[in-house]
Every structure is written in structure tokens, then in C-alpha cells.
């Protein structure tokens, strides 16, 4: 029996979601059809690709070996479409980008709007999750991260350095105890990450300056920012977020100044895909420009 490319595409979707129903939602087909196509592919290959368990569909040893071949076929199809489409044409289709929620909330909105204005047939999905994305499972086409991965068939490109500062709202500071040194922070309500939900050591800002108690904590940068903007306490804020809340001001600026880096993470094989290469180039340039614009706005002389 001949192997159909569409069956391989369905196989990859089930492999990446561990579920017929989840794959069906992604593929916009019914689960029964997805199941039949998997069965047809297994019959053509003469091997079981999945083992069903209470946790869902798990790849068998044969399925794990077949993933690499299916992904090579996927990349070949994408590359062929790109070549036929031509390099100079507008981008189209859907591209999903994973990002930490600070970047997703404060940097990517303007960048993505500009991209869709340039390419009206392009659909951009931003998935803002406070954790590391699993690119091998195709949770996203590419991801922005605060630490480069240590392994896997992934490519890494530095986007830019960015900065963070301790900040509080003017209204909070008006009635709060004096704040002239790091030691004084113990007299203040601190805002930050839930300690055991810090998914990357680069995000342990308060731990790095000796703070061991956080009165208001969330795994979401957006929630932390809202607390600080309403005058709830003191916390670490991305400099590029400061223009979004004019009442927020830096504190202990001469003692706390953090520098981190955004990295673009991609599947290694995707560099053969012109469409994703072009999108990645636009994305990196856009994030760099937006970061520079917002950090310039957040400078003390620019905020007066």
C-alpha cells in the first residue's frame, strides 16, 4: 500500500498532541477520520505507530523512528511550496510564535500588527506561556526565550539584550517607608514570581538580590505588572514595560540594574524554509526596534 503524505501529516499532528481529538482540532477534521488515517498508515508501514494509554496516544519505538522521516517529508513539502511561491511575494498562512509573557505583552503586539499590515494574508499566533516551549513537539513554529537551549536539533539566534529595574508606583512610595538601600526592601511589600514556578534561572530576579519573601506573587509578568501599576508594592520590571504605566518609577536604580537576553529558537531544519526565514528576519528586526524604542522612552530624561 502506498504511503500518502496527508497520512504522514496527520501522524505528526497526533504525535505532537498525544491525542486523536486534539489532533483533529488542529487539523479541523473529526477524530474518527484521524483515527482511520492513522490505521491506514500503520497498515501501509506494517507497524504499530502508537500505543493507546490513559494519558493518550504514545509513540511506539517504531513510531519514534518514523517521526524523523515524517518531519523530513514535512520540511521538503514546505520548501517546495516556498520555492513555487517565490521569495519576493508577501507572506501568508499561519505562523505561531511562543514567547515569555513579558515579551508577548509589551514587545510583540506592535511588531505583529506591523507585520500583518505588510502581509495582509499572514495570520500570526502569539502563545504567551510562562514556561519553556517544546519546539520538537511543534508547540510553535519558533519561540523567543530568555535562555538558549542546551540540546536538541534547534538553531539559536540572539535577538537583543534588554534591561530590568526595581520599580514602584509613585502613590505607593508616598506613604511607604524610606527606600535607600537593598536592606530597606525588607520593610516593603514585594511583588514577583511564585518561587517554585520560576521556569528559568534567568527569571529569579529577587532571589538574585537576596529577597526571600514575596508577598504578592504570580507566574505571570502581566499580573505582577498590574499589581505594581496599582501601587501594591515594589518589584522588578522590564524597562521596556515602564512606558505602559507612567506612574511607575525606578527605585534603587544605582544598585539594581539587570541585563538579560532574548533568543530566537527555531527548528534546525526550518532554515530550508524561505517563508519562515523571512518571517524570522522580520520578527527579529521588529523586536529589536520596538525594544530600543520603549527602553529609550523609559530613560529618566525621557520620562520627565
Contact 216, 229 (CB under 8 A): no
Residue 206 belongs to domain with CATH number:
3.40.190.290
User: Does 28 have pLDDT greater than 90?
Assistant: no
pLDDT band at residue 301 using 50, 70 and 90 as cut-offs: very low
Residue 126 belongs to domain with CATH number:
3.40.190.10
Q: What is the mean pLDDT of the chain?
A: 86
Closest CA to 285 of 166, 43, 26, 107: 107
Could you report the per-residue pLDDT of 119-131, keeping only the tens digit for each?
Answer: 999 999 998 875 5
pLDDT band at residue 135 using 50, 70 and 90 as cut-offs: low
Could you report the per-residue pLDDT of 213-263, keeping only the tens digit for each?
Answer: 899 999 999 999 999 999 999 999 999 999 999 899 999 999 999 999 999
Closest CA to 99 of 268, 282, 221: 221
C-alpha cell at 155: 538553531
Domain end point (choices 68, 85, 102): 85
- Distance from C-alpha of 10 to C-alpha of 62, rounded to nearest angstrom: 16
- Distance from C-alpha of 292 to C-alpha of 290, rounded to nearest angstrom: 5
Classify residue 303: in a domain, yes or no.
no
Residue 287 pLDDT:
95
Point out the least confidently predicted range of 56-70, 123-137, 183-197: 123-137
Could you report the per-residue pLDDT of 208-223, keeping only the tens digit for each?
Answer: 888 888 999 999 999 9
> Do residue 18 and residue 142 come from a single domain?
no
> Do residue 247 and residue 224 come from a single domain?
yes
> Do residue 25 and residue 174 come from a single domain?
no
> Do residue 140 and residue 120 come from a single domain?
yes
Q: DSSP class of residue 218?
A: -
- Residue 138, classed as helix, strand or coil, is coil
> Do residue 139 and residue 184 come from a single domain?
no
C-alpha cell at 132: 519553556
Residue with more model confidence, 166 or 272: 166
Classify residue 302: in a domain, yes or no.
no
Query: What distances in angstroms separate CA 222 from CA 13, 159, 201, 268, one per listed residue?
Result: 31, 22, 19, 31
> Do residue 252 and residue 267 come from a single domain?
no
> Do residue 183 and residue 253 come from a single domain?
yes
Residue 48 belongs to domain with CATH number:
1.10.10.10
Closest CA to 210 of 256, 261, 165: 256
> Do residue 97 and residue 66 come from a single domain?
no
Instruction: Write phi, then psi, for 106 (nearest 5 degrees).
Output: -110, -20
What pTM did the predictor assign? 0.72
Classify residue 250: in a domain, yes or no.
yes
Residue 301 CB partners (closer than 8 Å, separation 6+): none
Domain end point (choices 85, 113, 144): 85
User: Does 174 have pLDDT greater than 90?
Assistant: yes
Q: How many domains does the chain have?
A: 3
Per the structure, the complete domain to which residue 246 belongs is given by 162-259
Classify residue 255: in a domain, yes or no.
yes
User: Does 167 have pLDDT greater than 90?
Assistant: yes
Could you report the per-residue pLDDT of 80-102, keeping only the tens digit for each?
Answer: 665 555 555 678 888 889 999 89
Question: Quick one: average pLDDT of 21-47?
Answer: 88
User: Does 302 have pLDDT greater than 80?
Assistant: no
Instruction: Write phi, then psi, for 139 (nearest 5 degrees).
Output: -65, -25
Domain end point (choices 42, 67, 85): 85
> Do residue 208 and residue 78 come from a single domain?
no
Classify residue 244: in a domain, yes or no.
yes
Residue 268 CB partners (closer than 8 Å, separation 6+): 153, 154, 155
Classify residue 304: in a domain, yes or no.
no
> Do residue 279 and residue 153 come from a single domain?
yes
Classify residue 202: in a domain, yes or no.
yes
> Do residue 240 and residue 106 come from a single domain?
no
Classify residue 180: in a domain, yes or no.
yes
- Distance from C-alpha of 127 to C-alpha of 134, rounded to nearest angstrom: 12
pLDDT band at residue 53 using 50, 70 and 90 as cut-offs: confident
> Do residue 188 and residue 103 come from a single domain?
no
Beta bridge partners of 132: none
Amino acid at each position: 500500500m502506498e504511503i500518502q503524505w496527508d497520512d504522514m501529516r496527520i501522524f505528526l499532528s497526533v504525535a505532537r498532541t498525544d491525542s486523536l481529538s486534539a489532533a483533529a482540532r488542529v487539523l479541523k477534521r473529526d477524530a474518527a477520520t484521524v483515527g482511520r488515517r492513522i490505521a491506514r498508515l500503520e497498515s501501509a508501514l506494517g507497524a504499530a505507530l502508537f500505543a493507546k494509554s490513559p494519558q493518550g496516544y504514545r509513540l511506539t519505538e517504531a513510531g519514534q523512528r518514523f517521526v524523523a522521516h515524517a518531519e523530513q517529508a514535512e520540511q521538503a513539502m514546505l520548501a517546495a511550496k516556498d520555492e513555487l511561491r517565490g521569495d519576493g511575494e508577501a507572506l501568508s498562512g499561519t505562523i505561531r510564535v511562543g514567547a515569555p509573557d513579558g515579551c508577548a505583552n509589551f514587545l510583540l503586539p506592535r511588531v505583529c500588527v506591523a507585520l500583518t499590515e505588510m502581509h495582509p494574508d499572514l495570520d500570526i499566533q502569539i502563545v504567551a506561556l510562562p514556561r519553556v516551549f517544546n519546539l520538537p513537539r511543534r508547540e510553535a513554529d519558533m519561540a523567543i526565550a530568555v535562555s538558549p537551549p542546551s540540546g536538541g536539533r534547534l538553531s539559536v539566534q540572539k535577538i537583543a539584550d534588554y534591561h530590568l529595574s526595581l520599580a514602584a508606583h509613585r502613590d505607593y512610595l508616598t506613604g511607604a517607608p524610606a527606600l535607600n538601600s537593598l536592606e530597606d526592601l525588607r520593610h516593603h511589600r514585594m511583588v514577583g514570581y511564585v518561587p517554585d514556578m520560576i521556569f528559568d534561572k534567568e527569571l529569579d530576579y529577587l532571589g538574585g538580590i537576596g529577597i526571600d519573601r514575596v508577598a504578592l506573587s504570580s507566574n505571570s509578568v502581566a499580573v505582577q505588572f498590574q499589581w505594581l501599576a496599582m501601587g501594591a508594592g515594589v518589584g522588578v520590571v522590564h524597562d521596556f514595560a515602564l512606558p505602559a504605566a507612567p506612574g511607575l518609577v525606578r527605585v534603587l536604580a544605582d544598585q539594581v540594574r539587570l541585563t538579560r537576553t532574548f533568543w530566537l529558537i527555531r527548528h534546525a531544519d526550518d532554515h530550508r524554509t524561505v517563508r519562515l526565514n523571512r518571517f524570522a528576519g522580520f520578527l527579529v528586526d521588529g523586536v529589536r526596534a520596538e525594544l530600543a524604542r520603549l527602553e529609550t522612552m523609559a530613560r529618566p530624561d525621557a520620562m520627565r
